[in-house]
Structure 1
Amino acid sequence: MEILTSLRSGDHRLTKRMAAWDSVLARQLLPPLEEAAEHTKLWWAAAVIMATGGGGQGRKAAAAGVTAMAVAELLSNGVAKQLVERRRPPKEWVPHDKVEDRPDSSSFPSGHTAAAVAFTAAIAPSCPWAGAACAVPMALVAIERVHSGAHYPSDVAAGAAIGLAAAALVRATPRLVVRHMG
């Protein structure tokens, strides 16, 4: 029990610290990035770019990314958020106006992070250049979710774990199907 109390305390301290982060990067880059990631628009745009300009390799990667993103969204928003009811971080912890623009759903896990990680992890093996290009906005989306007061760091970590699991599942499914049918 003491370990959970310590983890919760650290989660709360880190949330307050990240929400209070005030820099040019935080003020100018994170809000437009959050808007681009809303409803997975950023990842759909990356998939379109890969599918149209990346040849067969790009189309394969885009399909894997979109599929993994859909699985991650289903697992995070459709399953986990329904099972775990967690309040968003308190508004008084967030010293900027982004705190007013938060969802009413459970804080746990971060669906934005799950989608970003799933997409990026699924495309990277087939299209390393696109995976590397998506890694930076993926990480910034995770940071933004805590900075905006929408999530605790543990929500983001859980979202990342779901995203990695979704990408692994999508990447393994063709091999599993072939093995099962053969």
Structure 2
Amino acid sequence: MRIVEGLRAGENRLTKHMAFWDSVWARGLLPPVEDAAEHTKLWWAAAVLMAAGGGWRGRRAAGAGIAGMAMAQVLSNWVAKQLVERRRPPKEWFPHEDVEDRPDSSSFPSGHTAAAVAFTTAVAPTWPWAGAACAVPTALVAIERVHSGAHYPSDVAAGAVIGVAAAAVVRAAPRLLLRHLE
């Protein structure tokens, strides 16, 4: 029981620390990242760019990314959020206005992070350069979700795990289907 309480206290301290992170970099970069990640716009735009400019590899990577993102959305928003009810971090912890614009759904897990990680993880094996390029905004989305007051760090970590799992399922599905059809 003490271990759980200690973990919770540590997570609360980290959340508050990230909330008060007030640098020019954070103020200038994180709000646009949040806007771009809303409704997965950032990842759809990345997929369009990959498909339009990357030839067969870009189209294949874009398709894998979109499929991974879709799977992550289902797993995080339609399954996990229905199973785990967790309140968002208290608004009092956040000194900025971003905290006013948060969803009403369960805090656990971060669907934005799940989608971002799934997209990037599904793209990387097909087109490593594009996967590396997507990793930067993926990390920024994860940071932003805590900084804005939408999630605790463990929500973001769970979203990342769901994203990796979703990408793995999408990457394995064709092989599994072929094996089943033989």
SS in 2 for 1:85: coil
* Matching residue of 1:109: 109
- Residue ranges of structure 1 left out of the alignment (5+ in a row): none
For residues 38 and 175 of structure 2, what CA distance do their matches in structure 1 show?
Answer: 32
* Matching residue of 1:127: 127
* Matching residue of 1:155: 155
For residues 5 and 178 of structure 1, what CA distance do their matches in structure 2 show?
Answer: 47
Give the C-alpha shift of residue 24 in structure 1. 0.7
For residues 126 and 116 of structure 1, what CA distance do their matches in structure 2 show?
Answer: 16
* Matching residue of 2:171: 171
Give the C-alpha shift of residue 8 in structure 1. 1.0
Give the C-alpha shift of residue 2 in structure 1. 1.8
For residues 42 and 103 of structure 1, what CA distance do their matches in structure 2 show?
Answer: 19
Give the C-alpha shift of residue 81 in structure 1. 0.6
Counterpart of 1:95, as a letter, is P
Give the C-alpha shift of residue 10 in structure 1. 1.1
* Matching residue of 2:97: 97
* Matching residue of 1:181: 181
CA offsets 1:5-60 (integer angstroms, 9 cap, x no match) = 11111111110000110001110100011000000000000000011111111111
**Match runs of 1:1-182 below 5 Å:** 1-182=1-182
Counterpart of 2:53, as a letter, is G
Alpha-carbon RMSD across the aligned residues, in angstroms, is 0.6
SS in 2 for 1:29: helix
- Residue ranges of structure 2 left out of the alignment (5+ in a row): none
How high is the TM-score relative to the length of structure 2? Answer: 0.99
Count the aligned residue pairs: 182
For residues 50 and 136 of structure 2, what CA distance do their matches in structure 1 show?
Answer: 17
How high is the TM-score relative to the length of structure 1? Answer: 0.99
Greater shift after overlay, 1-10 or 43-52?
Answer: 1-10
Counterpart of 2:180, as a letter, is H
Q: Provide runs of 4+ in structure 1 moved above 3 Å.
A: none
Give the C-alpha shift of residue 144 in structure 1. 0.1
SS in 1 for 2:114: helix
SS in 2 for 1:120: helix
